[in-house]
Amino acid sequence: MQMIHNSTIIEEGAKIGKNVTIGPFCRIGSDVTIDEGTTIASHVVIEGKTTLGKNNRIFSHTVLGSIPQDLKFQGEEVELIFGDNNTIREFCFITPGTQHGGWVTRVGNNNLIMGYVHLGHDVIVGDHCIISNATNVGGHVEFGSYVVVGATSAIHQFVKIGDHAMLGGASALTQDLPPYCIAEGNRAAVRGLNLVGLRRHIDKNEIDPIKKAYKELFESNQALKESAITLLEKDPIEKVKKLCHFVINTQRGIPYKRKDFNEKREGLNEKE
């Protein structure tokens, strides 16, 4: 049974599934598909070729599928696709892809996107991510799964963030953030492992090898990519391999500082 308020405008051609609820003063475009069980609050605009999976919750004044904020966009047929069980809070703005970035912006399953978040064109979000209030995400950014982003952060276009990583609040991330790591600051740098997140979602027997790998990568005297190649030669567990491959394949670099540099700075600060 659909429950659609009589003040809402649904353009001809839109596909609305079973048990969908749409509140007052919404506008649903002709190329929109909304699967069963989804709830849409008041004053929501969904347009373009936008697909919402099952049991999503869209809160008021959110805009989904408006044309990309890209000057090269010339009206091509591009898409915005959501999986299932996502929560999109108030005043979010999420745009579709572009022909230069794969044509699709995609949000996976079971994500929480808090109020006032902007996801730019061609962004890919995995599953079980939390993107906190007023975060601005540039185009072509890729999130893994179980990523946490603190409030009022900014993420530069083309950045990649690995699985189980965390970005601290009010950070500005301009380089790639490896899996399992925490970064924070302006500009953000890797500070350690996201141990709280790992303990919640990863078997404890896999955490110690990740800790050891982190030390070899970020606290050795080798260059970072050389450390990753050396570590791979030891045939580590799959999660460590994922970390190494991420480091080796980064295009924007990894923001980090060697431990000895930090120790020197701390010593200097103590003398000061």
Query: What is the tens place of the pLDDT at every residue in 29-53?
Result: 999 999 999 999 999 999 999 999 9
Q: Exposed, middle or buried: residue 158 (CB in 10 Å: 0-12, 13-18, 19+)?
A: middle
Claim to verify: residue 130 and residue 47 sit in the same structural domain: yes
Structural domain contains residue 185 = no
Residue keyed to tokens 């072509």: 140
- 5 assigned to active site: no
Specify whether 139 is catalytic: yes
Q: Mark whether 139 and 203 lie in a shared domain.
A: no
Task: Give the count of domains, the chain.
Answer: 2
| Neighbouring residues of 52: CB distance < 8 A, sequence distance ≥ 6 | 32, 33, 34, 35, 38, 46, 58, 64, 82
Q: What is the pLDDT of residue 265?
A: 37
Instruction: Give a yes or no: residue 193 inside a domain.
Output: no
DSSP state of 67: P
Mean pLDDT of 135-139: 98
Residues 10 and 139 in one domain: yes
Instruction: Out of 31, 122, 127, 176, pick the active-site residue.
Output: 122
At 137, the pLDDT band (50, 70, 90 cuts) reads very high
Question: Per the residue annotation, which of 43, 121, 128, 156 is the catalytic one?
Answer: 121
What's the rounded Cα separation, in Å, for the pair 52 and 231? 41
R_g over Cα of the chain: 21
Q: Is the pLDDT of residue 72 over 90?
A: yes
Residue 211 has pLDDT above 60, yes or no: yes
Q: Does 22 fall in a domain?
A: yes
Quote the domain boundaries for residue 210. Answer: 199-261
* Claim to verify: residue 204 and residue 139 sit in the same structural domain: no
Indicate the pLDDT class of residue 257, thresholds 50, 70 and 90. confident
Handedness of CA 105, 86, 194, 164 (dihedral sign): negative
Q: Which of 143, 176, 191 is the last residue of a domain?
A: 143
Average pLDDT rounded to a whole number, residues 78-85 = 99
Residue 109 sits in the same domain as residue 208: no
For residue 130, list its beta bridge partners.
112, 148
Q: Are residues 204 and 128 in the same domain?
A: no
Mean pLDDT estimate for the chain = 94
Query: Would you call 122 a catalytic residue per the annotation?
Result: yes
Does the residue 211 lie in any domain? yes
Measured distance CA(126)–CA(163) in Å, rounded: 9
Q: For the chain, what's the residue count?
A: 272
Of 143, 164, 191, the residue that ends a domain is: 143
- Tell me, yes or no, whether 9 and 78 share the same domain: yes
Residue 18 belongs to a domain with what CATH number?
2.160.10.10
CB–CB of 194/182 below 8 Å?
Answer: yes
In a domain, 171, yes or no: no
Same domain, 27 and 93: yes
Residue 270 lies in a domain: no
Give yes or no: residues 135 and 207 share one domain: no
Does residue 10 form part of some domain?
yes
For residue 115, pLDDT over 50 is answered with yes
Q: Percentage of the chain with pLDDT > 70?
A: 94
> How many angstroms separate the CA atoms of 144 and 125, rounded?
6
| Residue 264: pLDDT over 50 | no
| One domain, residues 118 and 228 | no
Confidence class for position 79, pLDDT limits 50, 70, 90: very high
Q: CATH number for the domain including 235? A: 1.20.1180.10
What's the rounded mean pLDDT across residues 154-172? 98
108 is a domain residue: yes
pLDDT band at 263, cuts 50/70/90? very low
Q: In the predicted model, is pLDDT for residue 228 greater than 70?
A: yes
**pLDDT grade for 258, boundaries at 50, 70 and 90:** low
Task: Indicate if the pLDDT at residue 92 is higher than 50.
Answer: yes
Identify the domain boundary among 143, 167, 191: 143
259, two tokens: 């431990």
% of the chain exceeding 90 in pLDDT: 92
**Residues 8 and 139 both lie in one domain:** yes
Q: Which listed residue (29, 83, 126, 139) is catalytic?
A: 139
Residues 137 and 28 in one domain: yes
**Stretch 5-14: mean pLDDT:** 98
